[in-house]
Amino acid sequence: MVAALELYLDVDATRRVRTLWRALESEGIPTLGSLHQKHRPHVSLAAARTIDPHAAAAALDGLVVGRGLTLRMDFAGQFVGRVLWLGVTMTPELMDHHRVIHERLSAGGVEVWEHYRPGLWVPHCTVSLRVPNPVMAPAIRRCLEILPLTATVTGAAIADHANDIMRAL
């Protein structure tokens, strides 16, 4: 089970990532699109086993979370465990926003996984959580076909799909 503070992308960027998901699915590669109907293309600023949506909303009260940020995805990558993603280029604006989010969450008693904290976080838009090893290279090549991709953040939420929790921020 995973909960996350997700940043949502503008319509054009969302459409392009969903097109990538469909292309990979047609090649037998599972994506977030098939994992859960409610998944939408996003970049997670924080994640944990669970996040209390009320505590997170209270900690972030009065802060515009992500809205209006420009994200540029310029590369593809993978994490151990067959996770495939589009890499978001770090900018001073994104790094500052991420730091402020984590300062507020920490002050509000909201715990997140260490690897999402400032200085350790790898900003990314997950494509698949379980690419079969024999098709990882073709899947990465398919990702590179849609890059570069520039997106504007249009919204944010605390999402816990396993428990059907979605709290807009």
166 has a pLDDT exceeding 80: yes
pLDDT single digits (tens) 2-28 = 899 999 999 999 999 999 999 999 999
pLDDT tens digits, 48-101:
999 999 999 999 999 999 999 999 999 999 999 899 999 999 999 999 999 999
Confidence of residue 33 (pLDDT cuts 50, 70, 90): confident
Is residue 142 within 8 A of residue 23, CB to CB? The reply is yes
> What DSSP line would sit under 54-102, residue for residue?
HHHHHHTTT---STT-EEEEEEEEEETTTEEEEEEPP-HHHHHHHHHHH
